[in-house]
Structure 1
Amino acid sequence: MAKVKYYYDSETLSYQKIEQKKGRRLGIVFLGIVGTFLAGFVLLVIYLNIPLIETPKEKALKRELENMQLQYGMLNKKMDQIQDVLSNVEDRDNNIYRLYFEANPIPEEQRKAGFGGINRYRNLEGFENSKLITETNKRMDILSKQIVVQSKSLDEIAVLAKEKENLLASIPAIQPVKNENLKRIASGYGWRSDPFTKVRKFHYGMDFSAPRGTPIYATGNGRIERADNRSTGYGNHIRIDHGYGYTSLYAHLYKYNVRVGQRVKRGDVIGFVGSTGRSEAPHLHYEIFKDEDRINPINFYYGNLSPEEFDEVLEKSQQENQSLD
């Protein structure tokens, strides 16, 4: 119940009861309602703007997030640069290195294959920057795989290069007798007249006429397979196994300068010109075998003859004359 209030009337010298007017009461009620509404509106505005009001911790997290986005952006730019360099290496690998060494190029789909199966990036989902982080990780994984593929390819190229180096060093490639020691090229590969029977028969090597004792050189790297006189007609002879299906034969030697099983290099002196076996005069009979078939030695002098010298040797080797063995 509301308290009754009085005031002192000096004229009547008595206390009079204060009567509240009805309109005044309504005004107070109205002001109360308006005040409540305004207070609620202010509180609502404050509530709606709470996200804009950042605490120091939130500001620090926001700066950290912005820095992370910047770092990821820089990382993607670096990956773009690495991708350009790697693409250039891949192009040279397929179109130069592997082509030169006669190796099959690596297919593009193998180089840039993704990762199938389960979602390996599931733990990166559900965050504000999940797409950025996921795509960056995918690029990083694919780039890493490309680098691994390219690294293995270059390892293979290195092996092929070493093998190619060995092959080039092993294939017979020089004349077994130096030009300054030659009297003449007595006979080449082809049909020739036998010096003893005078019958036309096929001559499977080349005859280099030179004085007795003239040095004979290994025409390629290899291992001495034979050094004996137990092959009909060849007399003292040497056979070098060069590998890769190649064998060279040096016949009618005066003496040896090597032993069976010895490793020799192109240019090593392996023996000396003689006239042992079925021979009419001091000379070297030289043959080359590929996969056990005799082939024309004229194609294996590119290592120490000029084009002019080779043309001269070729012309003389094609003359159908009498062989010396």
Structure 2
Amino acid sequence: MPQSRWTLMLVPHDNERVRSFQVSARSIRNALSGAAIFALLLGTFVISFAVKQSHHSQSAGLKRENQLLAAEVDEMRKQMEALDRSIAALAKKDEQVRVIAGLPEVNADVRKAGVGGPGTGSMGARALAKLNPGVGRKVEATSEDLDALMRRASLLRGSMDQAVTQIRRNQQRMASTPTILPTDGHLSSLFSGSRYHPVLRISRPHKGIDIAARIGEPILAPARGRVVFAGNRSNGYGNMVEIDHGYGYVTRYAHASRLRVRTGQMVDRGDRIADVGNTGLTSGPHLHYEVEVNGNQVDPMNFVIGDALP
């Protein structure tokens, strides 16, 4: 069967002659197929080039991000080193405070590492280490160091809280400890297991100290406490004040000429509670002062800081 043919005629606008070409249908089909293949190859090349450029751009962006991340991690590590030095300085101060508070020293290994085992890093840091080992290792190490710093800071905070609490307790105890002489005068009789009584003219225990002073001389509370008795006792003490200071401390002040507090009243160290007198069984004006600790009467001079007066 004869192949079909096509005639292409080129007609110019000037007076040149008309030109004609004859081509077969197969040639046209081959030409169209070639053009389609060329267009396909060209499209594939363009797409491949675009994808490659995109990957290159993404790679450059990721590289830049990794560089910035590494720089941030390095800066963070510098700040953590400064924080580590600050924690170490605070730990030294904490040791001094614990000594003042009367607390035992924290074990050096425990203070250095904090409570618990070493940090394991976050899941994100471990995942990053697989994608980018260099940056990932930095991030993971930083995460572990930060975890250790947090444990040390937590331990230090707990130690300081314990020390502050103990110091406050010590302050309260000290405020309730009778550490001053209640009045201004001279010691006329000391604490003794056996003393000759100037009025009764017999020997018997002297459960306190006597401070000779003028009538009307102020008698001051030697520590914080609550007045549990203010009145006259028929046992020879005359007008007397008794104060419960807590922590097992009780003090008594006998032979007063005037009482200036009432039962149930709270007093602080230095408050005027009575005036020196010679009521009760006495041979002259003075203050008889007793200190009792946990039910046992002791020498008041064991607690007096010199001849301190507020």
TM bracket (short chain)? 0.7 to 0.9
Shift in CA distance, 168/117, structure 1 to aligned 2, threshold 3 Å: closer
Aligned partner of 2:196 in structure 1 is 193
Question: Which one of the candidate residues 154, 158, 175 is aligned to 1:152?
Answer: 158
Structure 2 residue 164 is matched with structure 1 residue 163: no
Structure 2 residue 265 is matched with structure 1 residue 259: no
Alpha-carbon separation, structure 1, partners of 2:115 and 2:308: 54
Write the letter of the residue equivalent to 2:187: I
Write the letter of the residue equivalent to 2:203: R
Shift in CA distance, 188/303, structure 1 to aligned 2, threshold 3 Å: closer
Write the letter of the residue equivalent to 2:75: M
SS at match of 2:182: coil
**Deviation at residue 78 of structure 1 after TM alignment:** 1.5
Identical residues among aligned pairs (%): 30
Shift in CA distance, 120/75, structure 1 to aligned 2, threshold 3 Å: closer
**Deviation at residue 109 of structure 1 after TM alignment:** 4.2
Q: Which has the higher contact order (CA 8 A, sep 6+)?
A: 1
TM-score (norm 2): 0.73
* Stretches of structure 1 lacking an aligned partner (at least 5 in a row): 1-50, 307-325
**Deviation at residue 160 of structure 1 after TM alignment:** 1.9
Show CA shifts across 1:148-188 (max 9, x none).
2212222222222222222222211221112xxx3x42211
Moved more, 285-294 or 105-114: 105-114
Structure 2 residue 106 is matched with structure 1 residue 106: yes
Residues 224-303 of structure 1 correspond to what in structure 2 (within 5 A)? 224-230=227-233, 232-302=235-305
Alpha-carbon separation, structure 1, partners of 2:66 and 2:60: 10
Show CA shifts across 1:3-34 (max 9, x none).
xxxxxxxxxxxxxxxxxxxxxxxxxxxxxxxx
TM-score (norm 1): 0.70
Alpha-carbon separation, structure 2, partners of 1:140 and 1:66: 21
Aligned partner of 1:210 in structure 2 is 213
**Deviation at residue 247 of structure 1 after TM alignment:** 1.6
Question: Which one of the candidate residues 106, 109, 127 is aligned to 2:131?
Answer: 127
Write the letter of the residue equivalent to 1:138: E
* Stretches of structure 2 lacking an aligned partner (at least 5 in a row): 1-51
Aligned partner of 2:149 in structure 1 is 143
Alpha-carbon separation, structure 1, partners of 2:117 and 2:167: 35
Show CA shifts across 1:218-250 (max 9, x none).
111111122133462322211112222222110
Figure out how many residues of one structure are paired with residues of the other and give that number. 252
Write the letter of the residue equivalent to 1:70: A
Show CA shifts across 1:22-70 (max 9, x none).
xxxxxxxxxxxxxxxxxxxxxxxxxxxxx9x982332222111011111
Cα RMSD, aligned residues only: 2.8
Alpha-carbon separation, structure 2, partners of 1:114 and 1:121: 18
- Alpha-carbon contact 2:228-2:244 (below 8 Å) kept: yes
Alpha-carbon separation, structure 2, partners of 1:79 and 1:127: 25
Alpha-carbon separation, structure 2, partners of 1:166 and 1:118: 41
SS at match of 1:151: helix
Alpha-carbon separation, structure 2, partners of 1:86 and 1:197: 68
Residues 44-123 of structure 1 correspond to what in structure 2 (within 5 A)? 55-94=56-95, 96-111=96-111, 112-113=113-114, 115=116, 121-123=122-124
Write the letter of the residue equivalent to 2:131: F
Alpha-carbon separation, structure 1, partners of 2:178 and 2:57: 81
